[in-house]
Amino acid sequence: MNTDPDWGLYRSFLAVVEEGSLSGAARRLGLTQPTVARHVDALEQALGGDLFLRSQRGLIPSEMAVDLRPYAEQLALTAAALLRTAGGRHGEVRGSVRVSASEMVGAAHLPPILAGLRQRHPGLVIELALSNAVHDLLRREADIAVRMVEPTQDALVARRLPPIEIGLHAHRAYLDRRGTPASVADLAGHDLIGFDCETPPLRAFVARFPSLGRSALALRTDSDVAQFAAMRGGFGIGMCQVVLARRDPDLVRVLADTVCIELGLWIVMHEDLKTSARCRAVFDAMAAGLASLRQ
């Protein structure tokens, strides 16, 4: 390495990798295309190698670029965490807080909680990352996370919340058309909705209810939101949160006494943030709001 590259060069490099073009990276960063090109050239000179290969499909990352990408992503995460940490003065509930949650929790349960927070603290900005993947709080991929699995990492502040009940549901129009199953065995004659990729928790669930395995599904999607929409659209029978189904008078629970599971629920924060007024305010408000879901 000939020089110590400026952090901004890695920012442009990562944007080009993710966008696949100089123009796309420039739009994302609010820079001109020549500026991004100069950043890439400067980084290549500093590192002593080519980062991209030009093709008809755009810029293809070189082997060196592929190796550097995770480190550039970590720099971006650290820079974002630094800005969030510096975003509010001590004792004030203002600045940015990045929250990670699953699709359904983030789309169905958090909006009214976050709306109340914003009304009480107009200087607060929420960055909401919705994914069923578990974001790493130690790497500062998020400040606060809502998880369906018990946290095992040290250096985390965790609060266990009441579990969320999950059951089989279908639109009443579908049940009028196809009939209501009276037993798990009857599910074999129905259009079932479920996940495409099997995870350890899903495999444990299928071990209890083999008739709900992947091969029996008529619709497979790893999106909770898509599954819920399919149920509401009358496609078939699927699993969803009981508290959500109760909000829709057209969703009917089936086999309630037979197929019932409870998902654990935790809200987690890095222990270094427990003295942050804005993180503490978001953590406490979300914990209180999510704890009332069963009421």
Do 188 and 255 have their domain in common? yes
Which of 79, 95, 129 is a domain's end point?
Answer: 79
Taking Cα atoms as reference points, which of 136, 137, 146, 143 lies closest to residue 102? 146
**Domain of residue 53, CATH code:** 1.10.10.10
Which of 61, 79, 97 is a domain's end point?
Answer: 79
For residues 229 and 234, give the distance between their C-alpha atoms in angstroms, rounded to a whole number: 9
Which of 63, 79, 95 is a domain's end point?
Answer: 79
Q: Domain range spanning residue 281?
A: 86-159+264-291
> Contact at 8 Å (CB) between 191 and 235?
yes
Do 11 and 74 have their domain in common? yes
Do 43 and 121 have their domain in common? no
Q: Within a domain: residue 132?
A: yes
Residue 149: partners with Cβ closer than 8 Å, 6 or more residues away: 134, 201, 264, 266
**8-state DSSP, 272:** G
Do 257 and 184 have their domain in common? yes
> Using H for helix, E for strand and C for coil, what is the string for 16-48?
HHHHCCHHHHHHHHCCCHHHHHHHHHHHHHHHC
For residues 241 and 104, give the distance between their C-alpha atoms in angstroms, rounded to a whole number: 9
For residues 279 and 265, give the distance between their C-alpha atoms in angstroms, rounded to a whole number: 19
**Domain of residue 195, CATH code:** 3.40.190.10
Do 66 and 123 have their domain in common? no
Taking Cα atoms as reference points, which of 277, 156, 149 lies closest to residue 204? 149
Do 172 and 254 have their domain in common? yes
For residues 171 and 180, give the distance between their C-alpha atoms in angstroms, rounded to a whole number: 11
Do 103 and 184 have their domain in common? no
Q: Within a domain: residue 2?
A: no
For residues 50 and 95, give the distance between their C-alpha atoms in angstroms, rounded to a whole number: 39
Q: Within a domain: residue 285?
A: yes
Taking Cα atoms as reference points, which of 87, 114, 145 lies closest to residue 265? 145
List the chain pLDDT tens, one digit each, 295 residues.
456 788 889 899 999 998 989 999 999 888 899 999 999 999 998 888 899 988 777 789 999 999 999 888 888 877 776 766 665 555 678 888 999 998 999 999 999 999 999 999 999 999 998 887 765 555 667 889 998 888 776 667 889 999 999 999 999 999 999 999 999 999 999 999 999 887 777 777 888 888 888 889 999 999 999 999 999 999 999 999 999 999 999 999 999 999 988 888 999 988 878 778 888 999 999 999 999 886 4
> Contact at 8 Å (CB) between 232 and 221?
no
Q: Within a domain: residue 1?
A: no
Total number of domains constituting the chain: 3
For residues 235 and 177, give the distance between their C-alpha atoms in angstroms, rounded to a whole number: 11
Do 280 and 149 have their domain in common? yes
Residue located via tokens 């200087």: 123
Q: What number of other Cβ atoms are within 10 A of residue 184's Cβ? A: 16
> Contact at 8 Å (CB) between 109 and 287?
no
Do 189 and 246 have their domain in common? yes
